[in-house]
Amino acid sequence: MLRDKNLVPLSHQHQHALALCVRLDRALQAKSVDLEAWQAEIQTIFEHEIGVHFAAEEKELFGAANRFSDLVPLVRELQVEHSALRELFAAAAARALDEVGLSVLVEKLAQHIRKEERQLFECLQKLMAAEELSALGAALNEALKDATRSCAVPDPATRLRPKS
């Protein structure tokens, strides 16, 4: 299903987070991980975008979804996932993640994003009237206004280098 324009800002932020997951997964697979650099980048991305994104989802998106009884269990799952992801982001900020912890972050974040996109967004688009989606979009835009609107350039230490 084509993404409703009112949910596109969240989907764009999901794309940014998934790009981080892909880059980090590739670095982990290549055994080319600078733990300090990756955790610093993860901390920055959380502070500038993902933290604001989570707050907007929890306030606006989950609130709208909770109006539909069929979506309440899914919203509860997503809230629990936000909490677990916040703990992983906090561990990265404290520079407490090793390669296994980074791998867990990649897996949990990617799964969470896909669940929101494939389940929550799809259901909301089917259940909400156009006017409701428009009102939700306006509320999300306001809630997301403090998020960084540009992709950060990765630290050179977090870029994959060709094997010599």
Give the CA diameter of the chain.
56
Give the whole-angstrom CA distance, residue 15 versus residue 20: 9
**Secondary structure class of 7 (helix, strand, coil):** coil
**What are the C-alpha distances in Å from 2 to residues 13, 130, 149?**
17, 14, 23
Q: How far apart are alpha carbons 5 and 134 in whole angstroms?
A: 9
Q: Which residue has the tokens 């977090």?
A: 158
pLDDT tens-digit readout, 9-62: 999 999 999 999 999 999 999 998 999 999 999 999 999 999 999 999 999 999
pLDDT band at residue 163 using 50, 70 and 90 as cut-offs: very low
Helices 99-115 and 35-45, packing angle to 10 deg: 30
Q: What is the arithmetic mean of pLDDT over 69-74?
A: 98
Q: Quote the pTM value.
A: 0.88
Higher pLDDT, 17 or 161: 17
* DSSP for 15-31, written as a single string: HHHHHHHHHHHHHHHTT
Share of the chain above pLDDT 90, in %: 86
